[in-house]
Structure 1
């Protein structure tokens, strides 16, 4: 615990040192208060804390003047969703806008982190804490913006609806709950997601581009199981379930799915390559010119930030097996997680993996219920509003659509016919994105520079022209 005492003292010193540069507006103080409070609630699977966070946010909305009948906590097992209506006057004659985020976070083990994961700490450059990016920043920015607009007396011309899920990082059961027809949320004209998109910066802080998430890959996991009659470990045989599975995984490791692309992904590489320059930027430009350029696609495949934009990817993530240290294994299983390019079915990927594994004795099982979602074509009014918000910070940066390699709640809304775009307030170096990993952190500058992001967008899309 001593390391945390030292870090706490350093955080206090850091805060005092930079306090003169921190915005002192009511909105900035409220946003930081919410951010600090919700990061301190460990909303990980199995702890049952999401309803506690939902209740806290609900109380903040009540204090800001939102009527009780417009605030809904929707229990679902140990977790919950939160829906908040910001009622408009209807003058726009348009359907509501949904605003998405998720309240849960990935587990973080205290012993592994350099700082306490469920406490907001900081140094002179970063805020630290689990969820500081994914997605308690988005929850903070949307919640504080609703409160800010209410305090300003803003009356939207159409309804605005916050829909926060409670298990996006695991089963997405609350997300499936939110898209049920009886709730009426899928009658919205479109959804804006705080859990995707955002701006990329170079290591020296130069803006590369602002990315609007307009598509995401299908998320699916397969369980591969090798079985065997087993036996005594003192009498080994060539037919061993662990060997079978090891060979299968080696085959998967050496396999690359075919290159795929769309107009959106080619434009992404063309624009980013021009901004980035260097060897990697040149590979992007070559790929944009000719996606079948193997040297270019191989170079992009070396980058964890970009390989997913060029093809379907599958990787082993969990393994289990055996029943005794002195016995030959009777069953060994591995989870292979895939992120599938839009337009490719889960069944096609399963068949491809079966061919790659080339062992009929290894059984495949699809985990859960994968959701395949379409691309949400970009629309002028949304892109114009986002551009206005972004250009207040970086006047000349390109704003463009992209495809997310990961998965978000947005897939469920797209699958139900609700166009969805990810438009996070973040601007940062993508190589510093530690979401889901150790010592998750957010640049302090990104937090404060993004305070007006949602206000600008919502006032343009739901204001009185």
Structure 2
């Protein structure tokens, strides 16, 4: 086990050995990354950004090529490998340096003391998202070191609060909205079966919009010994019955059709048949109903809204003056947030209820399945795993791609991480990633970047 002091010491890798030692360098970058406690409020993100900058400068990047911008207690990093044709829009790689909180008492190991054990690297953020950030930093350093001269400029952008407010993400998207496309290391990726064989690779080209609403019903209240017919808890219960029974209409786009078709071949059986029928005809009500009955598929078929938090009353011996429910929606790409709010208003059918949008959610449409991106990713992935099918994917969760897509920049989740589903502990206890895929991950990034930026 390496000590924290050893991890944070300067890298001692000779220039001559670096090209051959890329996987070792990438592993070292990942280990050192995990040692930075880049949780909200800790002020460690700027320090991690400075470390990444040192790796890139060691490979030959100049100070002017790397910009670290403080934003509150966090920061962003932008590193530029200039292309030969300034008329071409740049290719942008993105990832995030921050991680969700982790308590030492809950973990088997200290979440911020990286450990390599039994073929895995353990530590908070090892999967989300420091694995692919380490691969991107190391790959970009290698391109600089070998003198790669792309036609298109390549820019690495790392945000600092993707897990919380995404203020750094919004700032980066606004500044670089003129990019040709975005390659996101925090989306998509490969799945290894429990038998150790590659099962599929997901190319993320869209994500559902995250939005929260609060439904509230109020009343003058009174003494609990004199019940009234306007009790807001009872009225809210009726609203919840209507909400629970409602389903938004089925929808489809280029991305979900391609995803369903690919999934149908892999899954087979009744589910596979329903997926194939839905891909061919999204108006197939029977197929839509079947897929909507399965938790793993309903999010691919329609917008979903579900009650997640409930509150009501203020005293045991008083009639409630207020009852509220929080409703979390995952909105199909391209659907306006306000239209979902309007639909919820119709569904609850209670003029006395108020619906409030919580915070300021941002919506985006799916990105087109560009042939150049699909071809580049297919070539890179199949170099690692010959014949493995590339499956377009729409994510139910939010990533930094959201803000770039919202500004019209096509964005694609192209993570280089392959792992078993049973090893996935992102945001959970004892997060870990396999070590044996690092060399292949570096090859994948190298191949994709050279294909698209050439």
| TM-score over 0.5 (shorter chain) | yes
Distance 1:237 1:40 in 2: 59
Q: In the alignment, which residue of structure 1 is the partner of 2:15?
A: none
Other structure's SS at 1:179 match: helix
Alignment pair present for 1:161 and 2:155: yes
Q: Which residue of 1 aligns with 2:342?
A: 351
Note the 1:400-439 alignment, pairs <5 A.
Answer: 400-430=391-421, 433-439=424-430
Deviation at 1:349, TM superposition (A): 0.9
Task: Show the 5 A alignment for 1:307-318.
Answer: 307-318=298-309
Say which SS state the counterpart of residue 196 (structure 1) adopts: coil
Is the Cα contact below 8 Å between 2:49 and 2:68 reproduced in 1?
yes
For structure 1, the 5+ residue unaligned runs are: 9-23
Unaligned runs of 5+ in 2: 4-18
- Is the Cα contact below 8 Å between 2:187 and 2:414 reproduced in 1? yes
CA distance in 1, matches of 2:354, 2:438: 47
How does the TM-score come out when normalised to structure 1? 0.84
State which drifts further: 117-126 or 161-170: 117-126
SS of match in other structure, 2:252: coil
TM-fit CA distance, 1:171:
2.1
Secondary structure of 2:131's counterpart equals helix
Contact 2:255–2:369 at 8 Å: present in 1 too? Answer: no
User: Which SS does the other structure have where 1:75 is aligned?
Assistant: strand
Aligned residue runs from structure 1 range 169-248, under 5 A: 169-180=163-174, 183=175, 185-231=176-222, 239-248=230-239
How far does residue 196 in structure 1 lie from its aligned partner after superposition? 1.0
1:145 and 2:114 correspond: no
> What is the CA-CA distance between 1:174 and the residue it aligns to?
1.1
Counterpart of 2:367 in structure 1 is 376
Are residues 292 and 118 of structure 1, via their aligned partners in 2, closer, same or farther at CA, if it must alter by over 3 Å? farther
Compute the RMSD of aligned alpha carbons. Answer: 2.9
Q: Which residue number in structure 2 is paired with residue 72 of structure 1? A: 67
2:69 touches 2:75 (CA, 8 Å); kept in 1?
A: yes
Q: Alignment length, in residue pairs?
A: 438
Correspondence 1:56 to 2:51: yes
How far is 1:350 from its partner?
Answer: 0.9
In structure 2, what is the equivalent of residue 19 of structure 1? none
Match of 1:31 in 2: 26
2:401, 2:86 → 1: CA distance? 25
3-state secondary structure, aligned to 1:261: coil
**2:9 maps to which residue?**
none
TM-score by length of 2: 0.86
1: distance between equivalents of 2:113 and 2:353? 44
Q: Does 1:97 align with 2:91?
A: yes
Distance 1:53 1:226 in 2: 47
- Contact 2:115–2:122 under 8 Å retained in 1: yes
Match of residue 86 from structure 1: 81
Distance 1:249 1:439 in 2: 37
Q: Residues 38 and 351 from structure 1, CA distance in 2 versus in 1: closer, same or farther, beyond 3 angstroms?
A: same
